[in-house]
Amino acid sequence: MSPETSAAPGPLPLILVVDDERRNRQLLEVMLGGEGYEIALASSGAEALTMVTERPPNLILLDVMMPGMNGYEVAASLKVNPRTRHIPIIILTALDDRNSRIHGLGAGAEEFLTKPVNRHELCLRVRNLLRLMEP
């Protein structure tokens, strides 16, 4: 009998969490903690754009209401850049009206979830978007 061979696991998918509230970043990190992802945290839109340039994530969880550059602006900036337009974005916000949702999707986000976020739904949407991005 030959020993079982198994493929070496590849790198964990990198998820960038962008939120100006430290507690929100920590909560999302805990929610996704046991799901097999590497989590990076950014506290502003400008910081997120710098991090994406240095190491593009597989997916971005993006708050809308942030000082300086808001989430809509960050999403639009990422989606016009040929190097980052393929990165899926899930907007997470306390805004739950139809216009906010349309604005987020129009800026290029693939998904829009309202806070407080349901952990199970978040994990499913993240998993599904990552699966769609597989080669």
CATH class of 14-132: alpha beta
Extents of the domains making up the chain: 14-132
- The per-residue pLDDT for 95 is 81
What pLDDT is attached to residue 8?
Answer: 53
Q: List the chain pLDDT tens, one digit each, 135 residues.
A: 444 444 556 789 999 999 999 999 999 999 998 899 999 999 999 999 999 999 999 999 999 999 999 999 999 999 999 999 999 999 998 888 888 889 888 999 999 999 999 999 999 999 999 998 887
What are the C-alpha distances in Å from 123 to residues 14, 78, 99, 119, 135?
Answer: 14, 23, 25, 6, 21
If you ran DSSP here, which 8-state letter would residue 33 be given?
A: G
Question: pTM for the whole thing?
Answer: 0.90
Task: Write the CB contacts of 19 (distance below 8 Å, at least 6 apart in sequence).
Answer: 25, 28, 43, 61, 63, 66, 92
Report the alpha-carbon angle 3-10-37, nearest 5: 125
Write the CB contacts of 66 (distance below 8 Å, at least 6 apart in sequence). Answer: 18, 19, 20, 44, 45
pLDDT at 93: 87
Q: Which run of H or E residues covers position 28?
A: helix 22-32
pLDDT at residue 38, as a whole number? 96
